[in-house]
Structure 1
């Protein structure tokens, strides 16, 4: 192997070098967004964990969705905030692949959770008499294990191929490590990686998408034959999930489009904004969608806040 194809020990994010004094504005805005994401999702997590009336499958899945948002945000923002203020934007090879693993598994867990939540709504609306017999504690636990292990299993071989690639450069034209940006540095044929990537897309995106669409087609057919009151209740429980799923699909589509587009022709600020949309909008919108649309979570949050204020008052008095 020639010296030009030796695997680099570190990568450089070239997008940050063109920001100039705007980096400080971006830092303040992104720090505020990071704190908002963590705070909003922690409120959902605490509301579900502390309120016994919310210890039901649907709310447990919502809690896991918020946990995944915290996982993805913590895996991305600290390094990103450091890059905004730093003059050197180097990231070590192991940390680069670790960051990529966290972000990709965050996406995989999000898709799996949305799929499981669609199944939960399918059983609740289409088979209400069998809901409690099907969505038992062990069934919910098995579904949660599936949401965690399925993306890891799907991504394992894909990451092995990416790590073993011979690279001829270290400049990444992105704000975080992505498989596509690393593939562009490859010195060898990328056919196997491209085929693996297509299979990964089918297994991790299109199959869950097909199941979610199938679930809502079944729900729609049941609602057509039901009363207006039943349709109203079904819409109330399904609307947050539909909004979350559509929002996530749009975010992923933007990120995939950005990866396939020649970023050399795109303004660096546009690259940062579009990439952040993928990592900011779903985590910050999920608590708002579920917190505003589901009265049970609003009530639990109000009850939790009142208890906290009472404890503070008693402590002060």
Structure 2
């Protein structure tokens, strides 16, 4: 069975976001017909298009659409159907994976290779590849062609000296270039220097919607909650203003923004001094953007729900626009 990541790998991020909006916000996917591993539906766009999706034994699905899209094999209508199929399959009991005997010859080869590949270390793979290429001139030639090496230039190079336990090439002793600190590492550095009030300016200096590196996957919500420990009102005001501006831009309305917003509010709500204000803000968003189902679902998954109007909560008016205290 494929995953959402498999769908994302098929298209540019903008096409994926448009397909997600078709499914989550515009409810553009019609009745889905299924026959075995093939799913078909009509998806409404500029016109109504016929889309089919076939689940493969492994990896991304095969998707076809009769729309006039010419910039790739998969379009936003196909992504919308793919997301709908994922939701549909979640509601069904898990099916047994295809047995190797039911796979085609090519699929069985890939199945066997994947099984061996994941059970072999990188060092073992490279060693085997080096040995194979040194024994198979035709395969070596294909390797050189694939990576665009010039055989004559390589042949003219001096032979590499044999390495012993006492001899290490000079290159190996060169220090690796220093990598820039991640956002989280910069924040920890500020905390270690007892400069907690500089956290919020640091967080405000970065793009909140960019996809962070793997080490910073949860950096923004975590760092906002840390900054709020020192400047709770200023941090909350910054979150309200920035995300309200994002939501006003219709081009940004998609699940990455909604999930990021929900995660940040969930982190701030853990602080007792902000809990009620955050819950009220989330409630206002759910009511103001009630037509954005994906936004409401993201907030609901984060534990928020519509509450009584502000005048009935006895909360003080929200203060907007407060600037974080300048770094000393």
Greater fraction of residues in helix: 1
Instruction: Tell me the TM-score normalized by structure 2.
Output: 0.21
Instruction: Tell me the TM-score normalized by structure 1.
Output: 0.21
Ranked by relative contact order (alpha carbons within 8 Å, sequence separation 6 or more), the top structure is 1
Structure 1 or 2, whichever has the larger Rg, is: 2
